[in-house]
Amino acid sequence: MSRQLRALRDECSGAPMTGVGSRQRSETAVARHTERVEVVMMCVQRNSQLLRFVGSVMLLVTSASGVVLGQSSTTNPYRATLGWEQLPEGRVMGTVSGVFPDPDGTHLWILDRCGANQCAGTDLDPIMKFDLEGNLVESFGAGLFAFPHGFFLDHEGFLWVTEGGSHGDARATLGESMGIGHQVLKLNQQGQVVMRLGEAGVWGDDETHFNGPSGVVVAANGDIWVSDGHRGGNNRIVKFSNDGTFLLAVGGGVGTESKEATAFSDPHDIKMDSEGRVYVADRGNSRIQVFDADGNLLYIWTHYGKPSGLFIDRHDILYAGDGLSGMVRSGPPDNWRSNLGWEKGIRIGDLKTEQAWVTHFIPQHDVDVGAGIEFLGVDFDGNIYAGEVSRRRLVRYVPFRPSELSGR
């Protein structure tokens, strides 16, 4: 036993351990690990304060006021299921970049990149409506998008879709040549476009243009927030009135990736809670930035990993999809491919509590093959639907009680 472990044991047990030096040197790695566990458990029994450190990961988060706090994540009360969606013969699920429950509570809307990772040049519908049994009810949107990225269903039932390919990204090039991309579209549930923000196929960083807008959310009063843009885009968030009039921008400018507060590096998604606070998945900086309705910074949270996609349900529960933590790949931009020491998966927290500590963590359930979960959504029964990028599939996570698995 190491000197540090022996000292810890002595402190917790009240009696020193003797005569183990020669035996310890011959123990295997497994035995040494077991010994460490026994020592920790002894300390837990002796000192209840240590319980907060066992099975938890202590992290730091800084609020806008500079207060530093810690948090712990706990259990995974979900099981993963595959094959929920029933698609027409010959159609496969591509990269899912948005999931939203219909206001009727009995249907689910899914944005899919046309059976692949982009839609340019195909005649497939990227917007699909399913019942809760996974049956496809209707679909539309063919030819409207090159690289559909952000997705939102507002309180009036309108669907909002962003074009996430930034200028220079190969996934935007074909769309630009076809005169599509760099826009935010509002559609009714019959698939008709009723509003457009941005100029089709034209990128820019002024009040009327985007560069790969990645996400969109609409407030109860109709104000429109857009995260702009994806991987080398404008690195800003923009607010518009309900008629599309520019109101304000935070951050901004191509090549302005920054770790400073109110600046962004690949703002990958944007959502809003019931109080009107705006949450930005600042993916390249491995954090969530929280703003009020006027664009003032409230918090910077680093306890949700490297968030790619966000979802906030009717009860203000936050779900953050992290499909990149721990990845190391070459090529720019460098800063969104790290967050070493963290796991990919889904982190869940309650926004009604201070700092919204992570209460549950769902680890990636399968063998790692690259980029994992990005966008996700939750139905009214609490089932989570998450799109995995590299595998190009939809995973349904069903909540369960521990007793449900005890007999298996």
As a dihedral over the C-alpha atoms of residue 360, residue 364, residue 366, residue 372, rounded to 10 degrees, the angle is 150
Mean pLDDT, the chain cut into blocks of 10 residues (408 residues total): 47 39 35 41 38 36 36 71 95 96 97 95 97 98 96 97 92 92 97 98 96 97 95 92 98 78 94 98 96 98 97 98 83 60 94 93 86 95 96 94 52
In this predicted structure, what is the pLDDT of residue 104?
95
Q: Rounded to the nearest 5 degrees, what angle is found at the Cα of 79, between the Cα atoms of 376 and 73?
A: 75
In this predicted structure, what is the pLDDT of residue 43?
42
In this predicted structure, what is the pLDDT of residue 327?
80
In this predicted structure, what is the pLDDT of residue 171?
87
Residue 288 pairs in a beta bridge with 281, 301
Distances (CA, A) of 22 to 5, 13, 27: 16, 22, 9
CB atoms within 10 A of CB 52: 12
Q: Which of 200, 197, 242 is nearest to 220 (CA)?
A: 242
CB atoms within 10 A of CB 305: 28
Percentage with pLDDT > 70 across the chain = 77
In this predicted structure, what is the pLDDT of residue 257?
77
DSSP annotation of 173 reads H
Token reading at 382:
């609490």
In this predicted structure, what is the pLDDT of residue 26?
34
Torsion-angle region of residue 162: left (phi > 0), alpha (psi -120 to 50) or beta? beta
Return the half-sphere exposure (C-beta side, CA atoms, 13 A cut-off) of residue 150: 34
Distances (CA, A) of 246 to 61, 197, 207, 264: 32, 10, 6, 20
Is there a contact between 158 and 188 (Cβ–Cβ < 8 Å)? Answer: yes
R_g over Cα of the chain = 23
pLDDT digit string, tens, across residues 345-358: 999 999 999 889 99
Integer Cα distance of 16 and 55 in angstroms: 26
In this predicted structure, what is the pLDDT of residue 55?
36
Burial 132-161 (b: 16+ CB within 10 A, else e): beeebeebbbeebbbbbbbbbbbeeeebbb
14's CB contacts (< 8 A; 6+ apart) are: none
Is there a contact between 201 and 178 (Cβ–Cβ < 8 Å)? Answer: yes
233's CB contacts (< 8 A; 6+ apart) are: 166, 167, 210, 211, 212, 213, 214, 254, 266
In this predicted structure, what is the pLDDT of residue 31?
41
Is there a contact between 290 and 301 (Cβ–Cβ < 8 Å)? Answer: yes
The strand order across the sheet containing 236-240 reads 213-218, 224-228, 236-240, 246-251
Instruction: Map out the domains of the chain with their CATH numbers.
Output: 3-54 (no CATH), 68-406 (2.120.10.30)
In this predicted structure, what is the pLDDT of residue 231?
83
The strand order across the sheet containing 384-388 reads 78-81, 393-399, 384-388, 373-378
